Chains A and B, each alone.
Chain A
């Protein structure tokens, strides 16, 4: 790789010849009518780039496989079928951000970053092609489309920086937005949230450095550059006029942007930011039944039916190879007792805290925080199974995640008692406010009920007043201690006015 062996210098020289033929052909079509690969010999830079891209995606795939394995430790739950309804939901809630708009300010800020992410990804495709085949702005041949693409990209990138600053302010000012506080928002979740914002800002700045340097380079070389640059056009004055320096700056911007994206991609599995991917499957596999409907425990149904009718035959589950026997415990003590969808929730959560901010128990000062239940589930999964992550949250020390609560059981270190205390679980009013509030359809209530089931059915560990209620139902057919023979007394001496 000589001084200007990199072929993009020839790009800049080449269009000079074209100006004489102007009028004969549309310029950018002419410019790119030659197949790029034979013209630009692959350099060592392209080979390095290929290795970087392969490593980036390879490492990401390796991490995703481990997370997939974690989620598959959950109990089976058939979520097939209803494809049309599920796709519609995914389109509205995930792609359409429908539930975000319950709160307009963060919804708009989030929309900017989200649309920015989608549009900028088109440019990433270009960067990858350019990097592999030593082309420069390969999509430039699309002409008008490219102008729109680059201009949109620039405007969105600037807006993303504005949104990131606003997000940072909402979290880091002296009195942050209430839902960004709370017991579960310890050192690591806080650092994670800020890291994401810093990385996003850095990626956008790299993009502007790349564009501005490229634009200025073409200006000083009096060469043509495809695309329209509404923001970088204002920034060219900030850069030196020296072509060699500009080329270096452009390369720095280009490499920082693409390597930054690959690093960010590999940071995702360690971060709450993984929601940008997991939100989609999470919404697709979310519950379709009414929120008030709690799951039925089929194994109990068989037991009850057999009790009521001695001739009842418990259907044998279809024997599949290597399948374990039906779960022997009721409810959930640890993460593997939860359905796989509940484990998927844990990886889709971006810790926004909308659930906790509407939770009646949390609002009135109880320990329960639905967000903590979901975050605990993820922490426990990574403690028990794979911590697939480069950045192992455990490295930051246990206190960095959650302050250890006194009631936590260190001996029986499971999700229940090891992370989530019965006090939190019993504070839930099952009101579904958290479920309604979650922008990506996470359902903390299901996990809470599963753990309550374990407490009651396996440990008989309900609060005493609830045990009294249970025995009232058993003995009197009512949750209160009234005699069943008084049940119809309300109808005594009842009159209606005749009209």
Chain B
């Protein structure tokens, strides 16, 4: 397939390039540290850029001018370091007259959107799930010409900083529904979603002693949901949460099931969980942007 399709190299535009020409892009794509450094999440960044290029959005990135938003420092209690980072970024944004920011990281999204205003930074900030939903709604992405997800079993893991923190539950689901996949909901979803275990700076430390790691608990729930394993679902803790729908019936799924995420930390935690449960052979963890880019046939 790759041979027949023409491919084009992307020179990812920088804010400084636009500024040099005296222009401004429509939107700044905030890549985030995970999107820039984490090997797995770099693929998400690249998928999202393919989508931006494909639909012809006038976007740019900060490249090496980007620095940590300060989110992990703030969650860990280091307010001083957070504000130093935030002020530095706000100064950069001011220099480029940034008004609109899109990012694939819910933590960056939450921090820039909700916590920068107190320090003088006010922007329109959107998470890539909302951005992708808009592209689909506008018909600019048709989800045709690539991999078919029709009928494949997908469950979406809500990330805390997108869901409870900012009440975004429908956009990622709308994107997945557009794939015409077999979408199944975990018992603990949306406002009752269970954390992957990486928030609040847990990503950078060992968990405290306990019975289990949080990501294992969550992965077990995701796997049981995808498998339609009622017995395993009943065993999962927190069964009091109530109001859950009927348990899906098991069905053979040769192509394998998918845990969809919209957050780099959730990606790491869920992928580790799947590995821990030795299910990599038939369960994959993908970000929304990866699914869209692959369904649209943009990978080259």
Q: Which residues of A contact B (CB under 8 A)?
A: 102-105, 177-179, 289-294, 296-297, 300-301, 303-305, 308, 330-331, 357-358, 360-361, 363-368, 423, 426-433, 435-436, 449, 451-457, 462-463, 465-466, 468-470, 473-474, 477-480, 482, 484-491, 493-499
Contacts and interface: CB of A to CB of B under 8 A. Distances in A.
A479 B72 contact: yes
Interface residues of B, number: 90
A360 B241 CA distance: 13
Given A473-B72, A494-B9, 10 more contacts: A290-B110, A365-B212, A429-B160, A453-B79, A454-B77, A457-B79, A469-B73, A488-B61, A491-B63, A497-B50
B238 A431 contact: no
Interface in B180-239: 191-195, 197-214, 216-218, 237-238
A372 to B, nearest CB: 14
Interface in B116-175: 118-119, 145, 160-161, 164-167
Nearest to A179: B240
Nearest to B211: A365
B12 interface: yes
A426 B205 contact: yes
Given A361-B208, A364-B217, A469 B72 contact: yes
Contacts of B167: 290
26 contacts: A102-B192, A103-B242, A291-B165, A304-B83, A364-B217, A366-B207, A366-B209, A423-B208, A431-B160, A431-B164, A457-B78, A463-B206, A465-B205, A466-B201, A469-B76, A477-B85, A482-B33, A484-B64, A485-B64, A487-B37, A488-B63, A488-B64, A490-B35, A491-B63, A496-B53, A496-B298
A474 B115 CA distance: 19
Given A488-B63, A488-B64, A490-B35, A436 B164 contact: yes
A430 B70 CA distance: 15
Name the 6 nearest CB pairs between A and B, nearest first: A292-B165, A365-B211, A452-B77, A430-B200, A477-B67, A365-B210
A178 B61 CA distance: 49
A496 B79 contact: no
Contacts of B166: 290-292
A222 B81 CA distance: 83
A470 B73 contact: yes
A125 to B, nearest CB: 37
Contacts of A453: 77-79
Interface stretch (B20-28, B41-49, B247-255): B41-49
Given A301-B119, A484-B64, A473 B73 contact: yes
Contact of B241 (A103, A294, A305, A455): A103
A427 B209 CA distance: 9
Given A365-B210, A490-B35, A331 B199 contact: no
A177 B72 contact: no
Nearest to A437: B192
A360 B214 contact: yes
A102 B243 CA distance: 8
B10 interface: yes
Contacts of A177: 240
B240 to A, nearest CB: 6
B57 interface: no
A291 to B, nearest CB: 5
Contacts of B208: 361, 366-368, 423, 426-427
B36 A478 contact: yes
B160 to A, nearest CB: 4
Contacts of A463: 205-206
A494 B210 contact: no
A342 B91 CA distance: 34
A171 B207 CA distance: 31
Contacts of B277: none
A457 B81 CA distance: 10
B67 to A, nearest CB: 3
Contact of B78 (A366, A429, A462, A478): A462
A466 B33 CA distance: 16
Nearest to B13: A491
A433 B204 contact: no
B68 interface: yes
B111 to A, nearest CB: 8
A478 B33 contact: yes
A259 B115 CA distance: 52
Nearest to B31: A490
A221 B115 CA distance: 74
Given A436-B192, A473-B72, A473-B81, A296 B207 contact: no
Nearest to B191: A436
A429 B205 CA distance: 11
Which interface residue of A331, A423, A493, A495 has the most chain B CB atoms within 10 A?
A495
A291 B241 contact: no
Given A290-B167, A466-B204, A469-B204, A360 B194 contact: yes
Contact of B165 (A432, A477, A497): A432
B76 A497 contact: no
B87 to A, nearest CB: 6
A436 B82 CA distance: 25
B281 interface: no
A364 B210 contact: yes
B212 A364 contact: yes
Given A452-B76, A490-B46, A498 B8 contact: yes
Contacts of B191: 436
Contacts of A105: 242
Nearest to A423: B208
Given A291-B165, A365-B210, A469-B72, A495 B297 contact: no
A297 B238 contact: no
Given A428-B200, A429-B202, A487-B37, A363 B238 contact: yes
A99 to B, nearest CB: 10
Contacts of A449: 75, 77
B299 A497 contact: yes
Given A462-B76, A485-B64, A490-B35, A496 B119 contact: no
A433 B194 contact: yes
A179 B242 CA distance: 14
A487 B63 CA distance: 7
A294 B74 contact: yes
Q: Which of A294, A456, A457, A497 has the most CB of B within 10 A?
A: A497
A366 B50 CA distance: 42
B288 to A, nearest CB: 18
A432 B195 CA distance: 9
B284 interface: no
A293 B36 CA distance: 24
A361 to B, nearest CB: 7
A433 B194 CA distance: 8
Contact of B64 (A179, A366, A487): A487
A482 B74 CA distance: 20
Interface string B48-68: 011001100000010110111
A357 B76 contact: no
B204 A465 contact: yes
Contacts of A104: 242-243
